């Protein structure tokens, strides 16, 4: 009898404002390359007053995430960060998810830009102990700063950080928000169901134009 292996679950965190094909391809590539049993998408909570910009209300970002992942039996969404009601750090997310996922190896999936932020943020040592990291390549961002950014943590934890090349997708939520505000096309950059939802709810200024281009 072969020994049962621990379940392997990928965690895809993000603001998902809105979710797009860059997120979905990153998750799917990680699922396949690391033979993950499933991927949990975790939309970030809405900060009380984020300085740079107003984040779209959580219920919209959560519903867009559900619309984007439907049809992939390997994808799920979690509300842990949305329901916390205070500023969320990756360490909180992983601790909360761990409670519902005993005997599971967790893999936190991030783009090349986000891994540096997360690991230079709060409790990097704890974060790296709770989950292994899959850093996917992203056009415009390099991973050569990783060792420097992690400093003394790099050596002991480097085996828990994996770099995954994915088909380069020059898509960002920032660019999508800009396109929508300018009345430009977003077709083929995110799932059609998400585009329809954006239009129906008049998100990102789409109600100002009356229709989605």
Least Cβ distance, residue 102 to ligand ATP (angstroms):
26
Measured from the CB atom, the residue of 157 and 177 that comes closer to ligand ATP is 177
Least Cβ distance, residue 118 to ligand ATP (angstroms):
8
Least Cβ distance, residue 5 to ligand ATP (angstroms):
26
Measured from the CB atom, the residue of 6 and 163 that comes closer to ligand ATP is 163
Least Cβ distance, residue 21 to ligand ATP (angstroms):
8
The Cα 66–Cα 60 span in angstroms is 10
Give residue for tokens 């992942």.
Answer: 69
Q: Are 69 and 77 in contact (CB under 8 A)?
A: yes
Residue 31, classified by CB atoms within 10 Å of its CB into exposed (0-12), middle (13-18) or buried (19+), is buried
Least Cβ distance, residue 3 to ligand ATP (angstroms):
33
When CB distances to ligand ATP are compared, the closest residue is: 111
Q: Are 12 and 47 in contact (CB under 8 A)?
A: no
Measured from the CB atom, the residue of 22 and 103 that comes closer to ligand ATP is 22
Measured from the CB atom, the residue of 139 and 156 that comes closer to ligand ATP is 139
Measured from the CB atom, the residue of 1 and 51 that comes closer to ligand ATP is 51
Q: Which two tokens stand for residue 128?
A: 């790296």
3-state SS, 24-69, equals HHHHHHHHHHCCCCEEEEEECCCCCCCCCCCCCCHHHHHHHHHHHH
At CA 11, angle to CA 188 and CA 52, rounded to 5?
65
Measured from the CB atom, the residue of 108 and 157 that comes closer to ligand ATP is 108
Per CB under 6 A, residues contacting ligand ATP are 14-17, 22-23, 26, 110-111, 113-114, 136, 138, 169, 171-174
Least Cβ distance, residue 147 to ligand ATP (angstroms):
19
Interhelix angle 58-69/192-201, rounded to 10 degrees, is 150
């Amino acid at each position: 009898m072969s020994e049962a292996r621990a379940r392997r679950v990928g965690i895809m965190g993000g603001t998902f404002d809105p979710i797009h094909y860059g997120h979905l391809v990153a998750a799917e590539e990680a699922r396949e390359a690391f033979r993950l049993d499933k991927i949990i998408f975790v939309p970030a909570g809405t900060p009380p007053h984020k300085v740079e910009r107003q984040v779209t209300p959580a219920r919209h970002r959560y519903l867009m995430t559900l619309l984007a992942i439907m049809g992939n039996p390997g994808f799920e969404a979690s509300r842990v960060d949305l329901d916390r009601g205070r500023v969320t750090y990756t360490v909180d997310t992983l601790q909360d998810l761990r409670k519902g996922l005993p005997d599971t190896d967790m893999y936190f999936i991030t783009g090349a830009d986000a891994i540096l932020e997360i690991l230079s943020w709060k409790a990097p040592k704890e974060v790296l102990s709770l989950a292994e990291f899959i850093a996917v390549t992203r056009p415009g961002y390099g991973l050569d700063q990783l060792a420097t950014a992690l400093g003394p943590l790099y050596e002991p934890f480097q085996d828990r950080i994996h770099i995954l090349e994915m088909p380069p997708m020059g898509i960002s939520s920032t660019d999508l928000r800009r396109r929508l505000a300018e009345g430009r096309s977003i077709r083929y950059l995110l799932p059609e169901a998400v585009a329809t939802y954006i239009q129906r709810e008049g998100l990102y200024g789409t109600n100002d134009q009356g229709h989605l281009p």
